[in-house]
Amino acid sequence: MNRIVIGMAAVSLLATGATAADLAPGTNVPRPYVKAPPMVDPGYDWTGFYAGLNGGYSWGRSNATVLPTTPFAVGIGQNVDGGLGGGQIGYNWQVDPKWVLGVEADLQATGERGRSIDALTALRIGSIGVTGTASSTTDFPWFATFRGRAGVLADPSLLLYATGGLAVGEVKFGTQATLTAQLFDGGNAPVGAPVTRTGAAVSESQTRLGWTAGAGIEKKFNRNWSAKLEYLYLDLGSATYFGGTANETAVKFHDHILRAGFNYQFAPGPVVARY
């Protein structure tokens, strides 16, 4: 009988201890039930500095006019195409869940070059006729842009943006003229063999300032890495080469640029919970 009593007392003490463990310390109030925190989704925050690399292709156009202020002006048009590659650095501000503003600068090296051989204006001076050709080249070895960006998030990881700003680049133009003189008699029949002379090759490089505008799409794959595809139109206007000489030429230049690249964001924003 004593054993039964002792066993019942032990069970009562154990039950009392378990009940006390469920009470808040120093009170008779049960401990509150705490729900496990929900899973946190690491959201995409676009705010922060970034840098990256890019590569692509460029379709440029040079339109030059030799002796533009004379009656003997000659137009020279060239496609100036080639590959390009470089890097970019920038900063984004995600101003709300849908809109992103930013600034970006990039520097590009290119293999763009155009060549052409164009006929010059034929001249007749008395009994001497003069014809000629100009062998010309246009090179666009590098450019840089300094742009603003404004975009909308199609979803938290996909940015559609427009961009525009200043552009600067080197445009090199070179030309060499070849002239042929022919003597004619009174009946306009050639007399003797023609005489051909090739002039000195001349070239000049200028660093020119202009503008650029375009659009792109950028996709984040995680909080730091993203990839982009971008189109830019670049216009460096017109400039005079070989001013004050017999080779004076006005050269206009513009370019169409398509490039792909990737960015690394150095300082992603805080983790955003989405339930």
User: Which whole number is the average pLDDT over 154-158?
Assistant: 96
Other CB atoms within a 10 A radius of the CB of residue 176 amount to 17
- State the average pLDDT for the chain: 83
Average pLDDT over residues 110-133: 79
Q: What are the tens digits of pLDDT across the range 62-76?
A: 999 887 777 667 888
Would you state the pLDDT for residue 58?
97
10-39 pLDDT per residue, tens? 444 444 444 444 555 555 655 555 565 544
- Taking domain 45-265, whether its CATH number is 3.30.1490 is answered by no
- Alpha-carbon Rg for the chain, nearest whole angstrom, is 37
pLDDT of amino acid 16: 47
Question: Checking DSSP bridges between strand 99-119 and strand 123-125, what pairing results, if any?
Answer: unpaired
What is the pLDDT averaged over residues 125-142?
82
What's the average model confidence in pLDDT over 194-218? 90
- The predicted structure's pLDDT at residue 123: 63
Write down the domain spans for the chain.
45-265
pTM of the model: 0.76
- Band (pLDDT 50/70/90 cuts) for residue 5 is very low
Residues 244-270: pLDDT tens digits?
887 889 999 999 999 999 999 997 545
Residues 229, 55: Cα–Cα separation, whole Å: 10
**CA-to-CA distance for 73 and 75, rounded, in angstroms?**
7
